Amino acid sequence: MSSQHYSFFESVQKSFDKAAAYTKWDKGILEQIKECNSVYQMKFPVKMDDGRIEVIEAYRVQHSHHKTPCKGGIRFAAEVNQDEVMALAALMTYKCAIVNVPFGGGKGGIKINPKAYSAYELEKITRRYTSELIKKNFIGPGTDVPAPDYGTGEREMAWIVDTYQTMKPGELDAAGCVTGKPITQGGVYGRREATGLGVFYGINEVLNMEDVMKKMGLTTGIKGKRIIIQGLGNVGYYTAHHFQNAGAKIVALAEYEGAIWNKDGLDYEAVFQHRKKTGSILNFPGATNFEKSSDALELDCDVLIPAALENVINGENAPRIKAKIIGEAANGPLTPEADEIFSKNGVLVIPDMFLNAGGVTVSYFEWLKNLSHVRYGRMEKRFTENQNNAILSEMESLTGKNVDKNMRNSIVHGPDEIDLVKSGLEETMINSVNEVMDCWRQNPNIPDMRTAAYVVAINKVATSYAELGIFP
C-alpha cells in the first residue's frame, strides 16, 4: 500500500499497533492510550488591517490525561488540519513518557500562513485563540501548557502569556501557562537551541555505542562523520552548529528552495548567512546545487538528519537513501513504509519521538522555573564558586604551584542557568537513548528502534493508568 493512503494520525496509530504487540497490556488499556481524549476545533472572526472580517480555523488537542498538564506546541501553517494536530498530540504523549517529563501530550494549530499577515493581525489572531482556549479551560499551568512550534516563536508565546495574565488576574503561577517565552517574560536560557542540542546529544550517544556502530560498519564517535541536514530552521541550525563544533563534516544542506553539496564539508554558518543575504542556500561558493530539496536525502552520508516537515521519506524514495543512520529531528519525517524498508536494509532510524524531545524537556525546566519563581543557579552559583575557590587555593598552597588564570576561572565557575539547563538536557537525552536501546536489546524480535521507543512509552503510560486504579 502506498504511503499516501495513510493520514499522519493513522501512521502514528500504525506504529503504535506494531509496538503494542510486544507489550502485555489489556486491549482496552491500549485502546485508551491510543485515542485522543479531547479535541477542540474552533472558528472565530478577526478584523484585518483593511477592515474585512476573516474567520480563522484553529485547533487544540489533548491526547492523554494520564498526567497533567498536557503539553505541546502551537503551529501556524496553512496546512494545519485536525488529523495532523491529533497525530502531533499523540507523539507528544509518547515523547514525554520516554524522556520522563510528567506531561500528557497536547498540540495546537491555527490554519493560517503567518507570512500572509501583518504583525498586528497575527497578534489579534493569537490573543483571540488564547481567549478561546481559556473559555474552555484548554490552557493553564495545571491543565494545558502550549509552546512554540512551526511558524511560532517567543513573540507569540509573549502574547499568549500576556492574554492569559490579563484574563486571570492574580493567578500566582500564570507565567507557567505557556513555555518558549522571552527571558523577560519568564522564559529560560537555552530554550531556543534546546531541540537541536537534544538531537545532537541523542545521536552522539548512539554513535558512541560500540556494539551498534560495529553492526553499522562505522567507527564510534562524531569526529569525521559525514552529515546531511534537511532544513535550516531553528532545529536544523542548532543541530548543524553542534555537529560541526564536535568535528563532523556537513556534506549537504537542504531547504525548500533546493539543496547544496560539498564532499569536503560546508560551513553551516556561512551557508546560513548566504541564505540571509540572497534568500536562498543555492549558489553557495564551492558547492554543487540540487534543484529539489529531496535530492539531498539520497546523497551518500553516514548520518541523515531530516529537520523539516513530516512524510519527506516514504516508500517511494526510501530504497534510494544511502545513509547508514537517520536521526529524525523533525516530527514524523518517515512514513511506516519507509520504516519497513530501512528495517530490512539495516539502516538505523533514531526516532523523532525522543530524539527531538529537547524542546519539551527544556520547556519542562521553564515550567518548573515559573512554578518555583526563582531562576536556576541563583541559590547555588556563588556558594559553588566560593567552595571551588577555597579548594583550589588550598591545593595551590600545598603544591606551591599557581593555576593558570583561564584554568582557574574554568574550575571555579559556578553554574549559570544555561549550564544547568544543558546539563539537565544531556542527562535526559542520554538516559532516554539508553532506555530505548536496552528495551531493543532485551527484545530481539522488536524490528527497529522506533518500535522499541513506542514499547517504552506504552509501558510507562499504561503503568500510570494501572497505578491510578483506572484499569484493573
Give me the helices (H) in 168-193, please: none
Other beta carbons less than 10 A from residue 37's beta carbon: 17
Report the alpha-carbon angle 137-97-71, nearest 5.
25
What does the block give as the cell for 118? 501583518
**Residue pointed to by grid coordinates 495532523:** 84
* 256 CB-near residues (< 8 Å, 6+ apart): 293, 308
Q: Helix-strand-coil percent breakdown of the chain, rounded to 5?
A: 50, 15, 35
Q: What span, in angstroms and rounded, lies between the C-alpha atoms of 225 and 315?
A: 26
Exposure pattern of 74-111 as b/e (b: 16+ CB <10 Å)? bbbbeebbbebbbbbbbbbbbbbbbbebebbbbbbbbb
DSSP 183: G
Residue 296 contacts residue 247 (beta carbons within 8 Å)? no
Alpha-carbon Rg of the chain, whole angstroms?
23
What does the block give as the cell for 26? 489489556
E runs forming strands in 339-407: 348-350
Active site residues: 107
At residue 11, what is the residue type?
S
What does the block give as the cell for 40? 477542540
Q: What span, in angstroms and rounded, lies between the C-alpha atoms of 204 and 198?
A: 10
Q: What span, in angstroms and rounded, lies between the C-alpha atoms of 138 and 69?
A: 10
Phi, psi of 356 (to 5 degrees): -100, 30
Q: What span, in angstroms and rounded, lies between the C-alpha atoms of 270 and 289?
A: 16
Q: What span, in angstroms and rounded, lies between the C-alpha atoms of 163 and 145?
A: 14
Please name the helix (run of DSSP H) or strand (run of DSSP E) that holds residue 82, with its range, or none: helix 82-98
Please name the helix (run of DSSP H) or strand (run of DSSP E) that holds residue 407, with its range, or none: helix 405-412
Q: Which of 165, 116, 193, 134 is nearest to 426 (CA)?
A: 193
Burial (0-12, 13-18, 19+ Cβ within 10 Å), 430:
middle
Phi, psi of 173 (to 5 degrees): -100, 25
